[in-house]
Amino acid sequence: MKTIKLLVIMTLLLSISLSCSDDDDVTLDNEIPTVEVMEPHEDDEFEPGAELHVKAKLADNVELSQIKIDIHYSGDGHTHGILSKEGEEGVEWIHEYVKNISGTAYELDEIIQIPERIEHDGEMHGIKHGSYHFGVYVIDASGNETQAFLDFKIEAHHEGDDHTHDHD
């Protein structure tokens, strides 16, 4: 009886070890995804209230997972990741967009409305004009991430060069 138990245990151990050996063929995905931003372009100018057309091509060798767009004011000379505060000439616009995606290739084609006015502390304020950072973050299913950044401007354009009000 001990011999039968020993044979059963050895057979179980052998089958477990053989079934685990297939895991050795799995390789880790260490390749970062790619992103090519086609719109907007570096140094494009937009008026408050305009539409910001976003077009980008994303790819990964195994599987895409998520895209994030981050737009924030950059006129104060900060580096990425530091949030700026409300300025005197208006409220700084901040916009985040996150979308789960899949597949090895994805074409992003979105319209983002640039606000003319923003609510802050219960009151409406004009949007702060100046330079804004536009960042695209792409993450694949293994957690690898890549980023692309560019700057654009939000400026109001006046009809004609001559206007009659005084500047203090």
pLDDT single digits (tens) 51-97: 999 999 999 999 999 999 999 999 765 444 333 344 347 899 999 99
Query: Are residues 44 and 154 in contact, defined by beta-carbon separation less than 8 angstroms?
Result: no
Token reading at 45: 């100018």
Q: Is 4 helix (H, G, I), strand (E, B) or coil?
A: helix
Look at residue 120 in the predicted model and tell me its pLDDT.
Answer: 85
90 neighbors 125 (Cβ within 8 angstroms): yes
- This prediction's pTM: 0.70
H or E, element range at 8: helix 2-20
Question: 């206007």: which residue's tokens?
Answer: 163
For residues 104 and 119, give the distance between their C-alpha atoms in angstroms, rounded to a whole number. 39
What are the phi and psi torsion angles at 16 (to 5°)? -65, -45
Residue ranges of the chain with pLDDT lower than 70? Answer: 1-26, 76-88, 158-168
Fold held by 31-154: Immunoglobulin-like (2.60.40)
